Chains A and B, each alone.
Chain A
Amino acid sequence: MRLAGRRHATRQPSQLVLAVLGVALGVAVVVSVDLAGASARRGFELSTRAVTGRVTHQIVGGSAGVPEALYVRLRSAGFRGLAPIVDGYVALAEATASDSPRRGRRRALRLIGVDFFAEGGFRSYLASPRAGLTAPSSGSIASTGGVGASDGVDGQGGTGRPESAVARVGGPSFDIAPLLVRPGTAMVSSALAAELGIAKGERIDLKVTSGGTNEQVEIVGLIEPADELSRQGLSDLLIADIATAQELLGQPGRLTRIDVIAVSESPDDSQRPPRAHGLRDLRASLPSSVRLVEAQARADATIEMTRAFRLNLAAMSLLALLCGMFLIFNTMTFSVLKRREVLGISRTLGVTGRQLFGLVLTEALAVGALGTVLGLAGGIILGRGLVGLVTQTVNDLYFVTSVRSLAIPGETLAKGAALGLLASAVAAAAPAWEASTTSPRSAQMRSHIEARARRWAPRVAVAGIVALALAVLLLTWRVTPADPMQPRGGTDLLLAFAGMFALVVGAALLAPIAVQAATLVSRQLPWGASGAGAVSRMAIRGVAASLSRTSMAIAALMVAVSVIIGVRVMVSSFRLTLQEWMTHTLSADFYVAPAASGPAGADLQLDADFRAQLEQLPGVVSTLTVRRAEVEGPGGPTLLMTFDLSRADFDAYRLVEGSRNAAWAGLLNGGVMISEPYAFRHRLAPGSVLGLLTEAGERDFVVAGVYTSFATDRGLVMMLRTSYEQHWSDRGISGISVTALPDVDLEVLGGLVRDLFNTRQAVNVQSNRALREASLEVFDRTFLITSVLRMLVTLVAFVGVLSALMAIQLERRRELGVLRAIGLTPGQVWGMASLQTTLMGLYAGLLALPLGLVLASLMIHVINRRSFGWTMQMQVPPEALWQALLLSIGAALLAGLYPAYRMGRQPPLAALREE
């Protein structure tokens, strides 16, 4: 039997190839998306690990950071295991050296300023080999091997540059002396240096984010990473002495944070959990303006931000696999159909149903295994392409990470392999059961399976309705996390995805009966009594007559097209909502901000006196400043936007919750407004109290209203400048918006604004339109990966239709032979096959329209809300519908070209000989 099976497979190579291709594509999409997501995450983790090292806790203080004096005080008080850190982003300026390989690149680097004497056991690549030999400190916060010199440096607040440093540090593969003695020096990993073509001693032109000015940085040392992981982690790091970093980032006297290792008496035991009393002592010694937080939790919180994004990608990739499953089902059903005689004879000869079940399942698993292997390989290749898109989105929206190589975790490959094999087994279960339960007689009857498929259509439809009911249940079921401090959405989002899958499966199960109904309707159409009429009727009936096959192809195509409609309507609704929001919110003519992009630009400032100068320019009516700061809120860093709003400016904001007057009054009284995603993530509403860490310690702010903002899915807190200045000493300006008189030539004014800054600071002066365009560009980039996935899903569905049509063509050889014998011309056979394909595409497209709109509605009103908390207006562009319908028909027609050609070309004799 197995031999017969193998021969059968090799005699139908096209079916085998298509099935393998279907599994391979499905697995490849899942694996590639997972790999890309994992690589972006790993990139972040590695760079975080490179920066945090063995740090267990951090002393943080929001956007203003931590005063350097605090570090000095803590060291003086006897606390050990502390390392001051200045951390920020700098951008490499356009390369000027003509031969430099970095020419034309523009890359963000993370600048870490450290106190080399305090580093010891914090970051292995900066550690002295002698660090481990250092005597344990007396404090509970462990000494991490700060070498003898560190005590001597303490008095200088970690910023001193003792001339004898080299001799005392020793050990490391680099010489730290130049870093300490020469300002504007830094080091990079040797791999990064090679990549950028930087030789030691070369001064690279760095555009430093603070103030946007260009600064020269000299590379005086190269770090040799000990292993591949360190190499990846260090790939974007620029390490400098703390004083240099403070200078470059414009943070004199301030630290970004103080790293803490709260562990054992010995650095060798650094993995042991922190000793509570040590941390308690430390916490008690901290002023109220700073907070002691766990380093890992902070890193986790950053990665957590991307969870919804990654989950959305995973859902798309699973849809591709679902389409792949249709393909396997199709192939295995076809395989059983084609061999019904062999199977019937085997049953007559005494082969048990169970053995036949095993046989078909084994064959499916063999196909699945082959497809899976190819899919894993394809997934890795595809993943390399997708990782760039994922990383770009993550950089645009969440945090700076660069992925130089694709991480290939075994877990992802195992998951892909399991999915591929499981999908193959599940898809083949029905045909295998079919083979095992068919009686010896009926197995040989040509029409048996199709007749059964027609009989089963109503029962399958009932199963579909049950699946739809389950979908409704899952979509309406909300699970609220027990811990109110935990952001919500996790389980609810999974439920929503499960509901969406149930909906898609339910709709697919309704496809057979819908095809039957459509056939009935189509048959009533006046096709005429001519030869063309007869051919048309045969084509129409053919769709319903080969239901077991056509309904699968139609279902696969329907799912793909509905996903295309759903995603397109969702993206276009999102885009339109965003455009509308920008039109409503962005009313100024120019926006001035320090030159930088993405999260790296978060803590940049403009010179304070620019505002007054701007207002002096001819034609300027008013200006508005914004301060974008990161402060400690519930669950970590919180983006705080501070405006000097007037009531008129405030009225441009769209409130989701709360009355306008009450919200304004609340703001004037020192309250805050929160954006919709923030309210969603932290379960806050007007009247709730939000605790933020101010310079005077934690303060409660009353939520005055919830407003619409699509600026970030992290969420924003907004307050008036006057309130901000009451709690923070920061007087910085992150951006200025400029409103001009109506009749002013904006080009000329724009030039004047640029001239004003050009001599002193690198800034971006963006016109209203340019800002909107830039925002939409980021938006489009974010959804680029969605388009790629959408294409892949369509490709899988396309292969499904092709496979189904090839199967039909093979299956109907004799019938076509008879038709040719009684006088159908090859052209008429081709026309019949093409009409049948067109009908399949039309049915799939028509069924996909309602499903696609429901999917779009769910993505907009359920998935998006549970992922990000945004409210969007659903807007259906008419072209999305007719284009999807055309795509459906076009894909089916295209897939049908070759089978139709073969049907037309098939000599009648060959078919009749099969008798």
Chain B
Amino acid sequence: MNPPATAPAVELRGVNKRYAEGAEERSVLEAVDLVIEPGTIVALLGRSGSGKSTLLNLIAGIDAPTSGSIFVGGRSMTDVSEHERTLFRRRHIGFVFQFFNLIPTLTAAENVSLPLELNGIGGVARRVGELLDAVGLADRGAAFPDRLSGGEQQRVAIARAIAAEPPLVLADEPTGNLDEETGEQVISLLTSIVAARGLTLVVATHSRAVASRADAVLAVRDRTVDLVDRVDLEDRAARADLVHTDAPALAIPVAAKPTSTCS
């Protein structure tokens, strides 16, 4: 079950995704090749409907590609059963959603404890306390989600996503439903926690501010994924090789695209 330690955090090979719309088929992603090394923070930029969420769902194993292979931590997500994918996801992937998606029937602390309990990790109360403390909500553990503000709910969601210490955290527009200031606080919290724990984070976003915190930025457009070489991220360009495409035949042109197309 445990993937090889040296494997890339995420690897996509020739991934195609098409959806049936009535009699027609709509292609969302075509021939995507992608490798993300462990410990990287990657931002996915793209217009609404460009396929960012699809890419995240494919990586998480919630959705299956039409063709191609996906590996997470060296483990294939395409050659295993739904049940195995679920168990793998439970242990190795954390999720942060745009609409927080806390379980309304559980308190903040219970939401955070859920992945711990599902994974049979001991010392739940202590760990939940630490996690809530880490997201600045040590005193709100007993509150139900409808008693928390949006920012607070998203912080609980972050605590829940990292509770079982998954090597990979996927975040789908985590600041999309928050005001700018709160969004900034939340993304700062998320990236700092992920970086501190050496986790890999793939975050789909419209926000340049979020992208600015990433080690690499990928643009999802025209059914393909491009590595963005950003002017304002030169100082990180040295680390751009951490996010690379490796299929020469399907090489994604790495061009200096104006980032405004992603905003």
Residue from B60, B104, B124, B145 with most neighbouring chain A CB atoms (10 Å) = B104
CB neighbours (8 Å) of B98 from chain A are 915
Interface residue B57 (Cβ < 8 Å from any Cβ of A): yes
CB distance A531 to B57 under 8 Å?
no
The complex places the Cα of A826 from the Cα of B85 at a distance, in Å, of: 12
Q: Given known contacts A531-B120, A538-B106, is B90 in contact with A823 (CB within 8 Å)?
A: yes
CB of B89 within 8 A of CB of A531, answer: no
Contact with B along A446-474 (1 / 0, CB 8 A): 11001100000000000000000000000
List the one stretch of B30-38, B109-117, B228-236 in contact with chain A.
Answer: B109-117
Residue among A451, A530, A825 making CB contact with B87, cutoff 8 Å: A825
Tell me if B114 and A534 are in contact (CB < 8 A): yes
Q: List 17 A-B contacts (CB under 8 A).
A: A447-B104, A447-B146, A529-B113, A529-B122, A530-B120, A531-B119, A533-B117, A534-B117, A537-B110, A814-B101, A818-B97, A822-B160, A823-B90, A823-B118, A824-B118, A826-B83, A915-B99
Q: Given contacts A822-B95, A909-B57, A912-B97, are A534 and B146 in contact (CB under 8 A)?
A: no
**Chain A proximity mask over B224-246: 1 for CB below 8 Å, otherwise 0:** 00000000000000000000000
B81 to chain A, nearest CB (A): 11
Cβ–Cβ < 8 Å partners of B82 in chain A: 826
Q: Are A912 and B57 in contact (CB under 8 A)?
A: yes
| A536-566 vs B, Cβ < 8 Å mask (1 yes, 0 no) | 0110011011000000000000000000000
Neighbouring B residues of A446 by C-beta, 8 Å = 104, 146
A861 to B104, CA, bound (A): 47
Central interface residue in B91, B99, B118, by most chain A CB within 10 Å: B118
Binding site for B on A (CB under 8 A): 445-447, 450-451, 529-531, 533-534, 537-538, 541-542, 544-545, 814-815, 818-826, 907-909, 912, 915
B118→A821 contact, CB < 8 A = no
**B130 on the interface (CB 8 Å rule)?**
no
Is the C-beta of B191 less than 8 angstroms from some C-beta in chain A?
no
Instruction: Out of A533, A537, A814, A909, name the residue touching B62 (CB < 8 Å).
Output: A909
Seed contacts A821-B62, A907-B62; 8 additional CB < 8 Å A-B pairs: A450-B104, A534-B114, A537-B106, A541-B106, A814-B101, A822-B118, A822-B160, A823-B91
B142 at the A interface (CB under 8 A)? no
Residue of A nearest to B100 (CB): A818
**Contact indicator A538/B103 (Cβ below 8 Å):** yes
The CA-CA distance from A822 to B93 in the complex, in Å, is 8
The reply to whether B86 and A820 form a contact with Cβ atoms under 8 Å apart is: yes
B63 proximal to A (CB < 8 A): yes
Contact of A824 among B60, B86, B113 (CB under 8 A): B86
B104 adjacent to A825 (CB under 8 Å): no
Q: Are A530 and B99 neighbours in the complex by a CB distance under 8 Å?
A: no
Given contacts A529-B124, A537-B110, contact A823 B104 (CB under 8 A): no
Q: With A534-B113, A825-B86, A909-B62 known to touch, is A818 a contact of B105 (CB < 8 Å)?
A: no
Closest 7 CB pairs of A and B: A823-B90, A545-B105, A534-B117, A447-B146, A541-B105, A818-B101, A531-B118
Q: How long is the Cα–Cα vector from A782 to B82 in the complex, in angstroms?
A: 57
- Are A529 and B115 touching (Cβ within 8 A)? no
A538 to B145, CA, bound (A): 14
CB-nearest residue of chain A relative to B83?
Answer: A825
CB pair A912–B62 under 8 Å, yes or no, is: yes
**Residues on B facing A (Cβ under 8 Å):** 57, 60, 62-63, 82-83, 86-87, 89-91, 94-95, 97-99, 101, 103-106, 110, 113-115, 117-120, 122, 124, 145-146, 160
User: How far does the alpha carbon of A912 sit from the alpha carbon of B90 in the complex, in Å?
Assistant: 17
Question: Which residues of chain A are near B99, meaning CB under 8 Å?
Answer: 915
Closest chain B CB from A49 CB (angstroms)? 65
Q: Report the bound CA distance from A472 to B142 in whole Å.
A: 42
Residues from chain A with a CB closer than 8 A to the CB of B145 are: 447
Question: CA separation between A820 and B105, bound complex, in Å?
Answer: 16
Bound CA span A594–B62, Å: 81
Chain B residue contacts of A445, Cβ below 8 A: 146
Known interface pairs A545-B105, A825-B87, A908-B62; A451-B117 also in contact (CB < 8 Å):
no
CB-defined contacts of B118 to chain A, threshold 8 Å: 531, 534, 822-824
Give every chain A residue within 8 A of B91 (Cβ-Cβ).
823
Whether A815 pairs with B103 at a CB distance below 8 angstroms is yes
Q: Give Cα distance in the complex from A825 to B81, angstroms.
A: 12
Q: Write the nearest CB–CB distance from A726 to chain B, whole angstroms.
A: 81
B120 to chain A, nearest CB (A): 6
Minimum CB distance partner of A519 in chain B = B105
- Which residues on A sit within 8 Å (CB–CB) of B115? 822-823
Please state if B89 and A909 are interface contacts (CB–CB under 8 Å): no
> How far, in angstroms, from A529 to B110 measured CA to CA in the complex?
11
In this complex, what residue of B is CB-closest to A818? B101
Q: Give the Cβ gap from B77 to chain A, nearest Cβ, in Å.
A: 14
Interface centre among A446, A537, A823 (most CB of B within 10 A): A823
Chain B residues with CB below 8 A from A451, complex form: 146
Q: How far is the CA of A596 from the CA of B41 in the complex (A)?
A: 95
- CB nearest to B91 among chain A residues: A823
> How far does the Cβ of B50 sit from chain A's closest Cβ, in whole Å?
15
* A531: nearest chain-B partner, CB-CB: B118
Contacts of A541 in B (CB 8 A): 105-106
Contacts of A821 in B (CB 8 A): 60, 62, 89, 95
Smallest CB separation, A889 vs chain B (Å): 21
Q: Which of A542, A821, A822, A907 has the most CB of B within 10 A?
A: A822
Select which of A530, A818, A820, A912 is within 8 A of B103 by beta carbon: A818
Residues of B contacting A822 in the complex (Cβ-Cβ under 8 angstroms): 89-90, 94-95, 114-115, 118, 160
Residues on B with beta carbons closer than 8 Å to the beta carbon of A912: 57, 62, 97, 101
Contact (A909, B63) CB under 8 Å given A818-B97, A915-B99: yes
* Beta-carbon nearest neighbor of A828 in chain B: B118
Residue of A nearest to B124 (CB): A529
* A534→B116 CA distance, assembly (Å): 9
CB distance from A854 to the nearest CB of B (A): 33
Q: Point out the residues of chain A lying under 8 angstroms from B122, CB to CB.
A: 529
Please measure, in the bound complex, the distance between the C-alpha atom of A315 and the C-alpha atom of B132, giving whole angstroms: 57
Query: Which of B94, B97, B101 has the most A CB atoms < 10 Å from its CB?
Result: B101
Across-interface contacts of A819 in B (CB, < 8 A): 103
Q: Which of chain B's residues have a CB closer than 8 A to the CB of A542? A: 105
Min CB gap B53→A, angstroms: 8
- Give chain A nearest CB distance to B245 CB in angstroms: 26
Q: In the complex, which of the residues B63, B83, B106, B117 has the most CB atoms of chain A within 10 Å of its own CB atom? A: B117
Write out the residue numbers on chain B whose beta carbons fall within 8 Å of the beta carbon of A531: 117-120
Q: Report Cα–Cα, A774/B119, bound state, in Å.
A: 66
CB-nearest residue of chain B relative to A913?
B53
CB distance from A812 to the nearest CB of B (A): 9
Report how far A826 CA is from B62 CA in the complex, Å: 13
Q: What residues on A are CB-neighbors of B101 within 8 Å?
A: 814-815, 818, 912
